[in-house]
Structure 1
Amino acid sequence: MNTFEEDLVLEGDRMIEHQPSISDKSLRINLNHNIYGTFSEIGAGQETVRHFFRAGGSSRTIAKAMSAYDKSFSDAIYTVEKDGRYVTESRLIKMLDYETRKIEERIPREDNPTKTFFSYANTVATIDYAKKNKGHGWVGLKFQSKPNESYSTIILHIQFKETDSKLQQETLGILGVNLIYGAYYQHHDTKKLIHSLYDHLDKDQVEIDSINFSGPLFKNIDNRLMSLFLVKNGMTQAVMFGPDGQSKLPANVLYRKNILALRGSFRPVTIVNMNMYKKSMDSFVSENNLDPHDTTVVFEITLSNLLMEGKIDEIDFLHRADLLCSLGQTVMISCFQEYYKLTEYFAHYTNEKVALAMGVSSLLNIFEEKYYYNLTGGILEALGKLFRNQMKIYLYPVKDENGNIINSTNLKVDLHIKELYKYFKKNNQIVDIKSYEEKNLDIFSRDVLKLLQQNENGWEDKLPDGVSKMIKEKHLFGYKG
C-alpha cells in the first residue's frame, strides 16, 4: 500500500470514499511515522495544530508549533515587509520558507531517512471589534511526498463569512487540517483536494478566493483551471489571474484602483475587442485625469459564457485564457450574469472611478426589465446599483442589417424605459466610442471561429498581432490547418 493512500470503504458492490472526521484526519497524520513538520500560526490562535495535539500521538508529527504574535518578534524571525503589513501572501511565503529551512537544518536526514517534512503556516486577521471588517487570511503548506524530494506548495487566500471571532478560529483550524490531509492523501487529484477543504465546513462559513499549486507534485497543474474550479463550485464569486497564469487575489488587483472592465466571450479575442479596450481606456483616463498606473483593466468572462452544451469546456477556456494572457491582460472569471452585480463586486474594493466597455447589444440587455424580476425594486434598483458613483459605460457601435451605424444616440429601447435611458445618457454616463474603423464593425468572434475551424482564408487579419500565429502553432479552438 502507498504510504499516502486514501481511505475507501465497501458499500454493497462498489467502493466509495470515506470522509473521515477532523479528529480522524489528525490522528491518521499523527500515526504516519513518515510525516513530520512545523506549525506557525499568526492572528487566530494555534487552531490547526490544536487538532493534532488533541488527536493523540502528536509527538510523531509536530516538530515545532509557534505563534509570533508580537510584531517585533515576528519581524525578527521573518523580516519586515516592505508595506509594513502582516496578513499578506509575501508574509506567508516567508514563513513557509523560513520554517522549511529550519526543519532541514535541525532534523538530521541521516537519522530520519524515511521522513517527509512539511511546514504549515497561516497569517490571519479575524473580525474586528466593530464587526466592520469580517476578516481574511493566507493559509499555506510546503511539503514533500517522498524523502529528499523537492518541496511542493499550496497557498490559498480565505475570506471569513462568520461574524464571531471564535467561530472564525474554529473554521480556520478545520480548514488547516483539511489542507494538510488533502496535500498528503489527495495531491494526485487537485480538484478532489480543493473539494475536501470544505469537509465539515460550509461555504457560508468561509470563502476561498485564490489558490495556487506549485512544485514537482503539481508541475502539470494549470492554476487558471483551479481558479475556474473555485467559481464553478460556488467557493467564491470571482477569481482573477494575471498574464503569467497565476491566480491573483482580487483585493490586491482592485484595491483603491480605477477599474475598466470588458465582458466578452473572447472566443477568440479580436481586433474589435482590443480597439474597444484601447479607445475606452484613452477616454477613461483623459476624461477623469487618471494615472494609468492606478487604473486596472479587467477582461471578464462569466460562467455562462463558458458553458457549452450544458457544461464547461476547460480546454476551450484555456484557449481563450492563453490568448488574453499573451496580450498581457488580467482575466477575471465570475458568476455574475447581470452587470450590476459586477459593479457591486468592484465597490467592495474601491471607491475610485469604474467604467465598463461594451457593445450595443449588451447595453440593450441592461435595459431589459425581464432580467430584474428577482429584485424588489426591479430595473430601477438594478440601474441604481449599476450606475453608482457616476459609473460610466463606453459604448462601441454596431452596424445593422441595412448598414446603418447604431450607437447611443439612435438605438431603440422600450418606450416606457426611454426616459430612464435618456437620463443616464444626459448625465454623460453612457458615452460613445467614436474613434473606430467602420470596416471592423463586421468582425464578430463567432464568425472568426467558424472560419478558422473550417480552415478558410481571411480570419487572420481580424485578430490582434501574434494571435493568429499562436492559434496555428497550438491548434487552438479546433484549428486543423
Structure 2
Amino acid sequence: MKAEMDVGTNRKALQINLDAKKYGTFAEIGAGQEVARRFFTVGGAAGTIAKTMSAYDMTFSDAIYGPTDRYVSRKRLWTMLDHEYELLVKRLDAKLGGDRTFFVFADTVAARSFKQHNESHGWLGVRFQTEPRGEPSQIIIHVRMLDESNADQQEALGVIGVNLLYGAFYYSQPERLISSLQENLAPGRIQVDLIKFSGPSFAKIDNRLINLQLVSQGLTDAVMFTADGEMVQPSEILHKKAILIERGSFRPVTYATNDMLEGARGQFLKESGCSEEDTVVLMEMTLENLLSEGQLNHADFLARVDILGALGRTVLISKFGEYYRLAGYLSRYTNRMIGLVMGVPSLIEILDEKYYLNLEGGILEALGRMFKHGLKLYVYPMIDETTGAILSATKVHVAPNLRALFQYLIDNCYIQEIADYRKDFLRIYPATVLAKLKAGDKSWEEMVPPEVAQIIKEREFFGYRAAVAA
C-alpha cells in the first residue's frame, strides 16, 4: 500500500479510537483479523475495542453462531451481528450503556488461498447505536476482492472495513458513505455490489436508489433486487441457475414486452431442459438508458422498478452497454444455459462492427466472448414499416463481409427466432405508449397489461394525470 493510502486509513482508525463514545466488538472470519488489526496498530484501541474474535474452524463457528450451509453468506453475517451485539449489551450495558454508544463490526470472507483460487468475496457489516441505549441501525455490504495475492486481499479488506465503520459513525448521508468506501484503495482492488441500510437511522432510505449509486459511482458493474425491492447479491439468485434475461427501458412495460419474454421462455425451457424452479428470469436496465435524458431521474427510475416489481420480476441494473460484457458477467455465476431476449433492432446492433472498434479482435472477439459458454439469443420479430412485412432474425440484412459469420451463428442455433408471438403486438412501441400517456390519449391503456395501467394511474407515473371532473 502506498504511504499516503496507509496514512489515510490509519487516520480514520485513530479518530474512532479517540472517540470516547464508541465502544464495541470485532468478529472476523477469513482473511485474518485485518480490520481489528488496523485499530490495534494505530494505538488507543483499549478505549474502543471490548472484544475481538475469529472463529475459523467450522465446528467452533457453528457452536458460537449456529450451523449454516454457507459460511460466507448474508445469513452468517446477520447471525454474527445478532450474537455479538446481544452479548455486548448484556455484559456491558449496566456498566457503560449510559455513556457509550455500542457497535459490532463483523465480516465473513473467502480470500484467495494456496489451495483454492475460487472467487474471493465477503460480507461485512456494522450494527451501531447513535445514542446511548438507543435502538441500533445496520449497514451491510458485499465485496468482491480482485487482488491476486492473499496478502493484498487482506490489506484491502482492512481498508474497506475501516472505511465502512468510519462512514457509519461520521457520515449522515448514505451517498457520502458510499463514495468513501474505496478511499485509500487503488482502483480495481475491490468491488462493492450490494449495500443495505436498515434501522431507525435509515428509516427514510430507499435501498434501491442507494444501490443504484454503487453503479453510477463506479463501485460495481451491476446491482440486483427482487420484485419486493430486496437487494440481493447476484450469487444468491443466480448460483447454478439457468438465466433468461430481457433488456429494455420498460418505460413502460407493454404487451409486446411480455409477449417477447413469454415466447422466449417457452423455447428456453424446452431447449435447456430446466424447470421453472431452476430458471431465473431477469429484466435488465442499463445505466446508459437511465441517463438517456442527461441525468438520473429518481422518480422515473422507481416508477419502472415498481412496475416490474408488480409483475413479479427480478431487476438487474448494469453498466454493460455491450452484450458480450453482460454475457461474461452472467457466466460468472452459473454453468447452465443463458438466454438473451431481444428484438430485431438489438440484433442488428450486435452485428454492427462499429461497436467493437475498441477491441483488438473487433466483432470476432466480441461474439467469441458472448457465445463462449453456449449462450443463445432469442429474437422477437419486427414490422418493416415501409413494406409492412415481418422481419425475423434470420432475415436480417448484414454487411457482406459478415454474412458467413451470421449464417454460422444461425446454423449452430446461437441465434433463434421467437416463434410464438402475437402479430398484433408488433406495432406496440414504448415510446408511442409514453407519448399517448403524456398527451392524455386514453388509447395507451390498450397497449399495456391491466396491472401496468392500474399502477401507472394510481401512482401517476411517467407524467400521467387523472382527468379532473368539471
Is the TM-score greater than 0.5? yes
Letter in structure 1 aligned against 2:365: E
After alignment, is 383-392 or 253-262 more displaced? 383-392
Q: Distance in 1 between matches of 2:122 and 2:63?
A: 21
Q: Which residue of 2 aligns with 1:325?
A: 309
Alignment pair present for 1:44 and 2:19: no
Q: Distance in 2 between matches of 1:272 and 1:432?
A: 15
Q: Which residue of 2 aligns with 1:341?
A: 325
Please list, as runs of the form range in 1=range in 2, the aligned pairs for 1:110-121 lying within 5 A after superposition. Answer: 111-121=96-106
Letter in structure 2 aligned against 1:76: A
Q: Distance in 2 between matches of 1:430 and 1:267?
A: 26
For residues 359-388 of structure 1, give each alpha carbon's deviation from its aligned partner in whole angstroms, at most 9, with x where no partner exists: 010000010011111112111111122222
Q: Which residue of 1 aligns with 2:281?
A: 297
Q: Which residue of 2 aligns with 1:371?
A: 355
SS in 2 for 1:94: helix
Which segments of 5 or more consecutive residues in structure 2 lack a partner in the other structure?
Answer: 1-5
Report the TM-score when normalising by structure 1.
0.92
Q: Which residue of 2 aligns with 1:412?
A: 397
Q: Which residue of 1 aligns with 2:16?
A: 29
Q: Which residue of 2 aligns with 1:279?
A: 263
Q: Select which of 431, 435, 445 maps to 2:420.
A: 435
Contact 2:89 2:97 (C-alpha < 8 Å) held by counterparts:
no
Alignment pair present for 1:469 and 2:454: yes
Letter in structure 2 aligned against 1:240: M
Q: Distance in 1 between matches of 2:12 and 2:374?
A: 52
Q: Select which of 129, 151, 167 maps to 1:166.
A: 151
Structure 1 position 133, deviation (Å): 2.3
After alignment, is 120-129 or 144-153 more displaced? 144-153
Alignment pair present for 1:104 and 2:89: yes
Contact 1:27 1:52 (C-alpha < 8 Å) held by counterparts:
yes
Please list, as runs of the form range in 1=range in 2, the aligned pairs for 1:378-417 lying within 5 A after superposition. Answer: 378-401=362-385, 402-417=387-402
After alignment, is 406-415 or 261-270 more displaced? 406-415
Which segments of 5 or more consecutive residues in structure 1 lack a partner in the other structure?
Answer: 1-18
Q: Distance in 2 between matches of 1:243 and 1:114?
A: 42
Structure 1 position 134, deviation (Å): 4.6
Please list, as runs of the form range in 1=range in 2, the aligned pairs for 1:101-250 lying within 5 A after superposition. Answer: 101-109=86-94, 111-129=96-114, 132-186=117-171, 188-250=172-234
After superposition, the CA RMSD in angstroms is 1.6
Q: Select which of 72, 75, 78 maps to 2:62.
A: 75
Letter in structure 2 aligned against 1:60: G
For residues 228-270 of structure 1, give each alpha carbon's deviation from its aligned partner in whole angstroms, at most 9, with x where no partner exists: 1111121111111111212211122222211111011111111
Structure 1 position 212, deviation (Å): 1.0
Structure 1 position 20, deviation (Å): 8.2
Q: Select which of 233, 236, 240 maps to 1:256.
A: 240
Structure 1 position 109, deviation (Å): 4.0
Q: Distance in 1 between matches of 2:30 and 2:54?
A: 8
Q: Which residue of 1 aligns with 2:298?
A: 314
Q: Select which of 313, 320, 343 maps to 1:359.
A: 343
For residues 282-335 of structure 1, give each alpha carbon's deviation from its aligned partner in whole angstroms, at most 9, with x where no partner exists: 110012321221111111111111113332222211111111111111111111
Report the TM-score when normalising by structure 2.
0.94
Q: Which runs of 4+ in 1 moved over 6 A?
A: none
Distance change in 2, residues 1:164/1:291 (3 Å):
same
Structure 1 position 27, deviation (Å): 2.0
Letter in structure 1 aligned against 2:31: A
Number of residue-to-residue matches in the alignment = 460
Contact 1:136 1:159 (C-alpha < 8 Å) held by counterparts:
yes
Contact 1:254 1:349 (C-alpha < 8 Å) held by counterparts:
yes
Q: Which residue of 2 aligns with 1:95?
A: 80
Letter in structure 2 aligned against 1:478: G
Contact 1:398 1:406 (C-alpha < 8 Å) held by counterparts:
yes
Contact 2:97 2:133 (C-alpha < 8 Å) held by counterparts:
no
Letter in structure 2 aligned against 1:413: V
Q: Distance in 2 between matches of 1:226 and 1:89?
A: 18
Q: Distance in 2 between matches of 1:318 and 1:101?
A: 36
Letter in structure 1 aligned against 2:11: D
Q: Distance in 2 between matches of 1:134 and 1:164?
A: 12
Q: Which residue of 2 aligns with 1:426?
A: 411
Distance change in 2, residues 1:337/1:105 (3 Å):
same
Structure 1 position 409, deviation (Å): 3.3
Letter in structure 1 aligned against 2:67: V
Letter in structure 2 aligned against 1:143: F
After alignment, is 430-439 or 91-100 more displaced? 430-439
After alignment, is 303-312 or 238-247 more displaced? 303-312
Letter in structure 2 aligned against 1:223: N
After alignment, is 116-125 or 453-462 more displaced? 453-462
Q: Distance in 2 between matches of 1:427 and 1:110?
A: 72
Q: Distance in 1 between matches of 2:370 and 2:184?
A: 37
For residues 117-143 of structure 1, give each alpha carbon's deviation from its aligned partner in whole angstroms, at most 9, with x where no partner exists: 111000111112156325111100011
Distance change in 2, residues 1:134/1:395 (3 Å):
closer
Letter in structure 1 aligned against 2:13: S
Letter in structure 1 aligned against 2:379: L
Q: Distance in 1 between matches of 2:333 and 2:463?
A: 38
Structure 1 position 41, deviation (Å): 0.6
Q: Distance in 2 between matches of 1:23 and 1:414?
A: 58
